[in-house]
A and B are shown apart, each in its own frame.
Chain A
């Protein structure tokens, strides 16, 4: 009996230990939360590497701690990095969860979205505006880019700069040549091109299996099309009032144009259930004539298409003349920004150390790393111009870390000998900027939008797709807009208008 008692006691004790063991395994996280402790003072001696944890997203391959690239950054900036990467598809969720659980790293890469703005307003992050002058690199960033990221008129984010107007239609130039057409200049030309791609068997396999334009469930091409018809960039100003783009006549005309494309079978008929991945698959299968991309990705799309059809060639066109002239939407000018958390970086002194780190990331050495990689491995230098080595060395080795780069790392790095398509993209971005229309509501604040924006947007997004499919007509579209207004849209318009007036005065 005694013996048995001991046995049971041991089991009970061991299982207790299990519980304790589980809970104690969580403590290292606490340490991570305050990486600055102790290291803050030693920053002066420049001996001890300063601990920095960074949260950011990746697209294909996750970055790794203690990897070769991480070591290079650590050595250059005298830091110890803890890279917390998340897949880009779950980026927004992850940010919210991290904020809600009060588990923020030193700095987190964020985008100008309602939850992020709310978190900034709640005082979770450092305002960096007043410190920028002390950092030559950070203060060299285009002020317009900082302006587009302001919250309540203050600067919080360290942006990864990119061009303002990079959107383009990527199309199969080899098909265009084969069908004897020239690059479209107007919306009508564009329609003719798509029509020919879909109906004249451009891949020459004798089957009716090609699409003019391919679309996915987020109606990705729509922003370009509405711009061609002259609808404002998300929000427009009419008689001093801010009105959403989708209430304009131009927007409706764009929708009608798109419905025609769908009716005539120039678009993949199952686009409302075509995910982004499937969308790329259609392109890669060599069945697609055109899709919206950014100018920088033209070369990638050409390489993808060439896997199936070695003759494939890609052309890009951004500016098409429509009924109201030629325009394109400009974006924010940055690809996300780093926010420095107050819970992980407790003192001003530590903040300065972190800012130094980001300032150093903009040095030419670091910009070269992010843009070109490691000399001899991912690029070579000829005639003082950098050139990527053949193959995917850069994509494999450097791409996962690209999101860490801040500032305009492309222009800060060594000039390169670019592929003609790449070169064309750079030139197009400059041309596009001349025709670019800005979104006047970019940094305007509306409490109703913060609270209900996402739900309300769904009303319009769903209605657009239904309109294109023919499930609803013009009256149904007008109902959707009414619905949007009634459920809070009217308030958003008024709040934006008030904020806009305040900014103007």
Chain B
């Protein structure tokens, strides 16, 4: 009986909001066709996919490709490099947009604030190829600006681009240079939503700038920070493949090769579609587990999660 009434209520609701549902439809169709349908492609990671035979006739091989991945002698190197780069970014890159946003928020001159914002957004639109080119010009030992400067100061040349020690520093620095400004957008948006009455009240109570920042601004940002952190955990196995490929060379490969560049080598250059799909699926699984775990922990500690 209750079942019938639920159904009827649902029908009534759909009829009442039919235009809204119709507006929803394109989005739903988009996700079905372009996001959910291609997901079935992961079955090729359990097959020996051959383009001639197609998805349905290719031979099933079970977990063979996963076994190969885990028994690959370079597996732990790839794992370590990937995770280390991500952790470095969490430590050194992640806080920077927050600090930048807080600093921008303290500016009182609106025109100046907007100018600074625009300037720090620009690197986001510069492609990695250009950044790699600029880095080369600055850092090459053959007449690069930085090394010439070191030479003038009587120092030894440092081969930044061809060393295992500098690779991660260089990678993270480039990411910071390119993306830090762009990353402030979401925090600035969150800051714009803070009720100004809170600040007024705090001032009347005698709170100084630091106190206001600590007790009003940061708590207002907390949920945004947590959510972005959770999303970031999902990307822990991802590195910008284009960026890393441009930095990689024979000397730094042992610290620079990550899962994404590995997939590029075995998948695109060598044409092992199934194997690279298996590597991709493994990456996604790790990301999923981390997102769920981080989300669980966030909820446990009283924050709002992503889902």
Question: Is B229 in contact with chain A by the CB < 8 A criterion?
Answer: no
Do residues A114 and B140 form an inter-chain contact, with CB atoms below 8 A? no
Given A99-B51, A269-B141, A471-B251: A93 touches B29 (CB 8 Å cut-off)? no
Do residues B23 and A272 form an inter-chain contact, with CB atoms below 8 A? no
Question: Is B26 in contact with chain A by the CB < 8 A criterion?
Answer: yes
Contacts of A96 in B (CB 8 A): 267-269, 271, 273
Given A269-B142, A465-B251, A466-B251: A93 touches B22 (CB 8 Å cut-off)? no
> Complex formed: what's the CA distance from A92 to B271 in Å?
9
Question: Is B253 in contact with chain A by the CB < 8 A criterion?
Answer: yes
Residues from 2 to 29 in A contacting B, C-beta threshold 8 Å? 5, 8-9, 11-13, 15-16, 18-19, 23
> Complex formed: what's the CA distance from A453 to B74 in Å?
15
Contacts of B52 in A (CB 8 A): 119, 122-124
Do residues A118 and B271 form an inter-chain contact, with CB atoms below 8 A? yes
Given A99-B51, A100-B273: A217 touches B140 (CB 8 Å cut-off)? no
Residues from 1 to 53 in B contacting A, C-beta threshold 8 Å? 19-20, 22-23, 25-26, 29-30, 33, 50-53
Do residues A122 and B50 form an inter-chain contact, with CB atoms below 8 A? yes
Give the shortest distance, in Å, between A449 (CB) and chain B (any CB).
10
Contacts of B275 in A (CB 8 A): 451
Give the shortest distance, in Å, between A22 (CB) and chain B (any CB).
9
Do residues A18 and B26 form an inter-chain contact, with CB atoms below 8 A? yes
Given A18-B26, A93-B269: A458 touches B142 (CB 8 Å cut-off)? no
Do residues B265 and A455 form an inter-chain contact, with CB atoms below 8 A? yes
Question: Is A469 in contact with chain B by the CB < 8 A criterion?
Answer: yes
Contacts of A270 in B (CB 8 A): 140-142, 159, 161-162
> Complex formed: what's the CA distance from A15 to B50 in Å?
38
> Complex formed: what's the CA distance from A100 to B274 in Å?
11
Contacts of B26 in A (CB 8 A): 12, 15-16, 18-19
CB nearest to B51 among chain A residues: A99
Of the four ranges (under 10, 10 to 19, 20 to 34, 35 or more), the interface on chain B belongs to 35 or more
Do residues A273 and B249 form an inter-chain contact, with CB atoms below 8 A? yes
> Complex formed: what's the CA distance from A114 to B30 in Å?
37
Question: Is B145 in contact with chain A by the CB < 8 A criterion?
Answer: no
> Complex formed: what's the CA distance from A347 to B270 in Å?
30
Given A12-B23, A273-B249, A455-B266: A115 touches B271 (CB 8 Å cut-off)? yes
Contacts of B267 in A (CB 8 A): 96
Question: Is B94 in contact with chain A by the CB < 8 A criterion?
Answer: no
Question: Is A268 in contact with chain B by the CB < 8 A criterion?
Answer: yes
Candidate in A99, A115, A273, A278 with the most chain B CB atoms within 10 angstroms: A273
Do residues B22 and A9 form an inter-chain contact, with CB atoms below 8 A? yes
Given A16-B25, A270-B140, A458-B265: A99 touches B271 (CB 8 Å cut-off)? yes
Give the shortest distance, in Å, between A17 (CB) and chain B (any CB).
9
> Complex formed: what's the CA distance from A114 to B159 in Å?
35
> Complex formed: what's the CA distance from A462 to B257 in Å?
12
Give the shortest distance, in Å, between B48 (CB) and chain A (any CB).
10
Contacts of B251 in A (CB 8 A): 272, 462, 465-466, 469, 471
Do residues A217 and B271 form an inter-chain contact, with CB atoms below 8 A? no
Contacts of B253 in A (CB 8 A): 458, 462
Total number of A residues with any Cβ neighbor in B under 8 Å: 47
CB nearest to A23 among chain B residues: B33
CB nearest to B275 among chain A residues: A451
Give the interface SS of chain A, mostly helix, strand, loop or mixed.
helix
Given A268-B142, A269-B142, A462-B250: A92 touches B269 (CB 8 Å cut-off)? yes
CB nearest to B253 among chain A residues: A462
Do residues B51 and A122 form an inter-chain contact, with CB atoms below 8 A? yes
Question: Is B136 in contact with chain A by the CB < 8 A criterion?
Answer: yes
Do residues B20 and A8 form an inter-chain contact, with CB atoms below 8 A? yes
Provide the B53-86 mask, 1 if CB < 8 A to any CB of A, else 0. 1100000000000000000011000000000000
Do residues B250 and A124 form an inter-chain contact, with CB atoms below 8 A? no
Residues from 262 to 302 in B contacting A, C-beta threshold 8 Å? 265-273, 275
CB nearest to B29 among chain A residues: A19
> Complex formed: what's the CA distance from A306 to B18 in Å?
74
> Complex formed: what's the CA distance from A452 to B265 in Å?
10
Question: Is A249 in contact with chain B by the CB < 8 A criterion?
Answer: no
Contacts of B273 in A (CB 8 A): 96, 100
Given A16-B25, A270-B142, A270-B162: A217 touches B19 (CB 8 Å cut-off)? no
Candidate in A115, A270, A486 with the most chain B CB atoms within 10 angstroms: A270
Contacts of B53 in A (CB 8 A): 122
Give the shortest distance, in Å, between A396 (CB) and chain B (any CB).
26
Provide the A266-280 mask, 1 if CB < 8 A to any CB of B, else 0. 001110110000100
Provide the A397-423 mask, 1 if CB < 8 A to any CB of B, else 0. 000000000000000000000000000
Candidate in B33, B136, B272 with the most chain A CB atoms within 10 angstroms: B272
Given A9-B22, A268-B142: A100 touches B51 (CB 8 Å cut-off)? yes
Q: Which of B19, B74, B268, B270 contacts A12 (CB 8 A)?
A: B19
Beyond A12-B25, A13-B22, A270-B141, 12 additional contacts (C-beta under 8 Å) are A8-B20, A16-B25, A92-B269, A93-B268, A96-B269, A96-B273, A100-B273, A118-B50, A124-B51, A454-B270, A462-B253, A469-B251
CB-based closest 5 A-B pairs: A115-B271, A122-B52, A465-B250, A12-B22, A8-B19
Which residues of A are interface residues toward B (Cβ below 8 A)?
5, 8-9, 11-13, 15-16, 18-19, 23, 92-93, 96-97, 99-100, 102, 114-115, 118-119, 122-124, 217, 268-270, 272-273, 278, 451-455, 458, 461-462, 464-466, 469, 471, 486-487
15 residue pairs of the A-B complex, CB under 8 angstroms, read A8-B23, A9-B19, A12-B25, A16-B29, A93-B268, A114-B270, A115-B271, A118-B50, A122-B53, A124-B51, A124-B52, A272-B250, A455-B265, A465-B249, A466-B251
Which residues of B are interface residues toward A (Cβ below 8 A)?
19-20, 22-23, 25-26, 29-30, 33, 50-54, 73-74, 136, 140-142, 159, 161-162, 249-251, 253, 265-273, 275
